[in-house]
Amino acid sequence: MSKIRAFFAFTLRAFFWLILVLTWIALSASIFWDSIYPSEKIIPEERNPVQNGYNYLIIAPATLKESASKWAEFRESDYQVELSLLLDEDTRWDEQMKEISQRIADEGAQTDESRIKEIVGEVLNEYTLENQIKEIIQETYKQSGEPYPFFVLLIGSEDPNDSSYLPRHRYIVPEEEANFLPFHDIEGDAGYTFDTNNDRWLPIAIGRIPLSDNFSVLQKLKNTHTYENNPLNGLEHTQVNIIASDGGWGPVFAKSTELALQKVIETELSLDTNYHVINGNYESVYSVPKEQYTQEIIKSFEMNPLWVSYVGHGGSGLGPAHISEKEYAEMFTVEDVSSVGNAQNTMMTFVSCTSEELAKPLFSNPGGPIATISSSRITFAYSNTFLQKDLMLLLINDQVSAVGEWMRLAKIAYRKPEMNRSFLIWLARTYLDPVLETILGADPSTGVITYKEIIDYQIYTYNLYGDPALQIPHAKRTIDIQSRSFLTRKNSFLFFDGKSDLDEGAPLLVFIKYYPGKIPVIDSAIPANSVESFNAANDFILGATAVTTQKDGTFSGSIEVPDVPNGAYVLEVITPKTPTSVGHDIVYIGFPFLFLFYNSKTWWLVLTIVFFASLFRSIKKRLNICNRSAPHLTSPKMGEELILPRSGWS
């Protein structure tokens, strides 16, 4: 019995040491990672000016010549623009016949029937609209000296029966990989930028206006012009609205993903960004009653936020939402698109499967978003997770200037280690990718697909509706603000000072808000899953005041601090009018000792002390045991004989 107890005691000690060591290693790596492997911003390639050519290409059918020409005029002030109008069907047919006749004549009189059939097949393949578009894009790019950025705007309908038809690229999935995938081809304009001869993705930002008549295209051009010349005001510049459907994998998954999002917002993104969240899980504080989802989503579209981000299940709607333990419901469907009338001042992304079924009619709506990013096929949850992360990092941390750059870089970020060197990405690339590829390749029926192909499929399937050169109206972080004291008592006043480069008398809005990622305290009297609790969860401002700048650009003032939990909060300043400038400072309210010490560095220090203290205690204990078990030899008195023990010592 004593041996069994000893065995279990040894096992528990070994397990404790294993957990302790692994946790200490993980914390050490996360803390010192930047020193081991210096991080870099996800920045675009170095700018390469155009050389005797173009850096903005418009391709459209002849039927849309009027609107395409107007769009070219709009962009000529900032870019070297080339407008390429495709031949109509009759003219293209005549050109094909001439080419076939010429090649047969070049072959000579001895050309047999089989060779003639080959020539006809070659010409018909070369003269497909898809091949023509790809050739125009890549030849223009290369002949212009491969400038960066290089933008391509396709204007035309995606319906083959439309007179303004402009086909999308169609990628055929290799047969050995198609066994694994739920599709055999991928349609999307991104495929036009893949250089087959050199096996590389060209750094071309491509977008489409999927409309079929000049009037609708010109209306979208008007919206684009307005968006760039009359940008968002004040808080709109820093507003990001996040919509998430229920994953369908249980409450533990729903809660963990919400916590993960909060952690990313808290640690990786700029603190002066403000969030409005709708979550399709009834256990979330960001959920609403079943009948309110559509209305709240339309409000979210029309709040003029910088970005509306949807993550979840796709198709022709958003959702489903998990209403109760056994009830689900759609949050927003394609039938609700006509109710959206004032969303033209926001960009939208849909990180989900086949989301263009909703994104296309939403973008085509006159009051729809100014740009959308969506997928044409079923996508993968693992790669979508990193796509969403990179969309957030690129946009919120101001690392891109145009929407086409934003989409292109987010899609390729995971494939380029130098673009993202975080500890999490290193772990995923080092350990999760091989596991995933092993699982996918374990069953012969899945083929030989690797994660590289999965990322390539993602590049093909996600596409942009909108002008790829659309300028993102980032707020300028040019205002400094500081609290006068390190700690501020509750139910008192927080005093602040600041400095800006604004003219005298410029109005400023200064406010205290919850730390991004933290959920505001909701009154217990407010019922859960109600509109009131939802609004309270999204009410991030605790107190605000208006001030004006002095002659030297300085400003000062105070804000009343309510009775809130101890912790860290953000003091933010913003100009309510265009151009928008912002600034922020971290302030501590109450006595937030737990918050100050509740971080990875503190836990690393505690574990380090525990680890080395336990190690020292264990070594000391072992030494004591050795000392007690060793024989004690005493010096004999004068004339006595030294007697050694019988244990073999000599």
Domain ranges in the chain are 56-207, 213-450, 476-592
Lowest mean pLDDT of 147-156, 196-205, 493-502, 591-600, name the range.
591-600
Supply the mean pLDDT for the chain. Answer: 82
Would the pLDDT of 180 be above 80?
no
- State how far the Cα of 468 lies from the Cα of 406, in Å rounded to an integer: 9
Stretch 50-73: mean pLDDT, rounded?
94
pLDDT tens-place string over residues 453-470: 777 788 899 999 999 999
Q: Residue 591: pLDDT band by 50, 70, 90 thresholds?
A: confident
Which class does domain 476-592 fall in?
A: mainly beta
- State how far the Cα of 445 lies from the Cα of 425, in Å rounded to an integer: 30
Does residue 288 contact residue 532 with C-beta atoms inside 8 Å?
Answer: no
Would the pLDDT of 136 be above 60?
yes
**Structure-derived torsion over alpha carbons of residues 59, 61, 62, 65, reported in degrees to the nearest 10:** -50
Q: CA nearest 518: which of 267, 246, 252, 254?
A: 267
Tell me, what's the pLDDT at 234?
78
- State how far the Cα of 238 lies from the Cα of 510, in Å rounded to an integer: 14
pLDDT tens-place string over residues 226-264: 999 887 777 888 899 999 988 666 666 667 777 777 777
Tell me, what's the pLDDT at 406?
95
- State how far the Cα of 221 lies from the Cα of 211, in Å rounded to an integer: 12
Would the pLDDT of 446 be above 50?
no
* Residue in this structure with the two tokens 């919400």, named with its chain if needed: 258
Lowest mean pLDDT of 60-69, 138-147, 165-174, name the range.
165-174
Q: Residue 358: pLDDT band by 50, 70, 90 thresholds?
A: very high
Stretch 475-480: mean pLDDT, rounded?
91
Q: Which residues, at least 6 apart from 524, have a Cβ–Cβ distance to it below 8 Å?
A: none
Would the pLDDT of 444 be above 50?
no
Tell me, what's the pLDDT at 130?
87
Would the pLDDT of 220 be above 90?
yes
Q: CA nearest 560: which of 480, 484, 481, 490?
A: 490
Q: CA nearest 367: which of 220, 208, 154?
A: 220
Residue 634 in tokens: 């005493």
pLDDT tens-place string over residues 193-208: 999 999 889 999 999 9
Stretch 386-404: mean pLDDT, rounded?
88
Would the pLDDT of 34 be above 80?
no
Would the pLDDT of 118 be above 80?
no
In the chain, the percentage of residues whose pLDDT exceeds 90 is 41
Would the pLDDT of 404 be above 90?
yes
pTM (2 d.p.): 0.81
Q: Which residues, at least 6 apart from 597, have a Cβ–Cβ distance to it below 8 Å?
A: none
Would the pLDDT of 268 be above 80?
no
pLDDT tens-place string over residues 478-517: 999 999 998 898 889 999 999 999 999 999 999 999 988 8
Stretch 408-433: mean pLDDT, rounded?
67
Would the pLDDT of 360 be above 90?
yes
In the chain, the percentage of residues whose pLDDT exceeds 70 is 76
Would the pLDDT of 636 be above 70?
no
Q: CA nearest 336: which of 303, 301, 312, 310?
A: 301
H-helix or E-strand containing 373?
strand 371-375
Please count the residues of the chain: 650
Stretch 385-414: mean pLDDT, rounded?
88
Q: Residue 575: pLDDT band by 50, 70, 90 thresholds?
A: very high
Q: Residue 648: pLDDT band by 50, 70, 90 thresholds?
A: very low
Tell me, what's the pLDDT at 35?
59
Burial class (CB in 10 A: 0-12, 13-18, 19+), 416: exposed
- State how far the Cα of 226 lies from the Cα of 646, in Å rounded to an integer: 101
Stretch 267-288: mean pLDDT, rounded?
87
Task: Annotate 375-395 with DSSP letters as a single string.
Answer: ESS---HHHHHHHHHHHHHHH
Does residue 508 contact residue 573 with C-beta atoms inside 8 Å?
Answer: yes
- State how far the Cα of 158 lies from the Cα of 463, in Å rounded to an integer: 13
Residue predicted with more confidence, 298 or 383:
298
61 strand-pairing partners: 86
Find the radius of gyration of the CA atoms of the chain: 32
Stretch 14-33: mean pLDDT, rounded?
72
- Domain range 213-450, CATH architecture: 3-Layer(aba) Sandwich (3.40)
Tell me, what's the pLDDT at 649?
42
